[in-house]
Amino acid sequence: MQHPIAIIGTGLAGLSAARRLHEAGLPVQLFDKSRGSGGRMSSKRSDCGSLDLGAQYFTARDRHFSTAVQHWQAQGWVAPWLPRLYQARQGQLSPSADSQERWVATPRMSALCRQLLGDLPVQFDCRISEAFRGSQHWQLLDSQGNSHGPFSAVIVATPAPQASSLLSAAPSMAAQAASVVMEPTWAVALCFDEPLDTALDACFVQDQALDWVARNQSKPGRETHHEQWILHASSTWSRAHIDLDKTAVIDLLHGEFAELLGCRIPPATLRLAHRWLYSRPAQAHQWGALAQGELGLYACGDWCLSGRVEGAWLSGQEVARKLLEHRDA
Ligand code: FAD
Ligand code: NAI
């Protein structure tokens, strides 16, 4: 019997690898510490509907990724988003329309990963704390002390800081993952009963506490009568306020938002904050994916490439390619 390949992480990188290996006829078993798939493409369900607190949209510059996106569009999993785009420089708002194609999953960002997961075997609420190799096969240990396995290979598809300890069987890979610095992002969602009196749907902000704001329901497929706004703080501000409590973060970023828009902001009916500790690598890499084929240990994730949705998907494809190549050698 063929032992499955363990994939730790059901963000886009892990699912991209899982799909490719499944299509090649190999059994996979996925694990995630969270309650569902999506990772940093997850959406928060709330009384005001689903809110995209992590990735906001994605672009497709790579030919292979564009082909995948077209396929997803044909399935109805993603759609183009055409926001009324603005930029803010030195506090000055100005329209900033461009011709860049931007995509979102529908009806919420997490839906793409949910579709890619399909009915692949997965265990949620399962934080893997150790991966070790016996004489021939891999075993995983979770934080509850449960053992999982045997597996023919292990793919670590978590953010780099969480990957390094899982890669300890291959010290050079562990060191490479440990060398990646990942920046935090504070994200805030605000919902209102009435539309805000502003023309913009999304805005790139420079040189301020905020980095990005978007009207969530301007994305296609969001069926809601609520006015939903997502605010992202810059990496610098997020790092400087990393241990602030959520209420204080919301108050400060709410104030920045009101100042940015310069319009009357009614009381919010819902205010929530989420701290992404490892939101983006401080710099892009060209690693594709990490592999020690003879050991059967692999790693992928956005941190191996561009630190974006596209990079995560491409890294997952690359790790699967490396694993298949080693197997066929
Ligand atoms: P992740 O999505 O982080 O997936 C890793 C998974 O591993 C998670 O589900 C996690 O729960 C799981 N995990 C971790 N440790 C363990 C463990 N020990 N055991 C089991 N499971 C574990 N990209 C864009 O292209 N456009 C954007 O607009 C954009 N905006 C962003 C805004 C924010 C606030 C953030 C945080 C990210 C944004 N990104 C954006 C980046 C994008 O979200 C990521 O590049 C991409 O989603 C990363 O996918 P991944 O699979 O590599 O990692
Ligand atoms: P993109 O090409 O739309 O944006 C790249 C960057 O170019 C933007 O961040 C912005 O600074 C600038 N830009 C693009 N169009 C602009 C316009 N019309 N007016 C003014 N500035 C403009 O998308 P790409 O390259 O796919 O990047 C994805 C987005 O995800 C970026 O905004 C990036 O900052 C964001 N991101 C956020 C993360 C986080 O943790 N907060 C992590 C990873 C990505």
Write the DSSP assignment of 69-99 as a string of letters.
HHHHHHHTSEEE----EEEEETTEEEE----
What pLDDT is stored for residue 1 in this prediction? 67
Does ligand 2 come within 6 angstroms of the Cβ of 234?
no
Predicted pLDDT at 26: 97
Mutation pick for ligand 1 pocket among 16, 37, 40 (CB with most ligand atoms within 8 Å):
40
- CA–CA dist 237, 231 (Å, integer): 13
Which residue numbers in the chain have pLDDT < 50? none
pLDDT digits (tens, 9 = 90+) for 233-249: 999 999 999 999 999 99
Q: Indicate whether residue 133 lines ligand 2 (CB < 6 A).
A: no
Digit-coded pLDDT (tens) for 50-103: 999 999 999 999 999 999 999 999 999 999 999 999 999 988 999 999 999 999
CA of 58 to the centre of ligand 2 (A): 9
State pTM to two decimals: 0.98
**pLDDT, position 85:** 98
| CA 11 to ligand 1 center in whole angstroms | 6
Residue 264's pLDDT is 80
Instruction: With H, G, I as helix, E, B as strand and everything else as coil, classify residue 121.
Output: coil
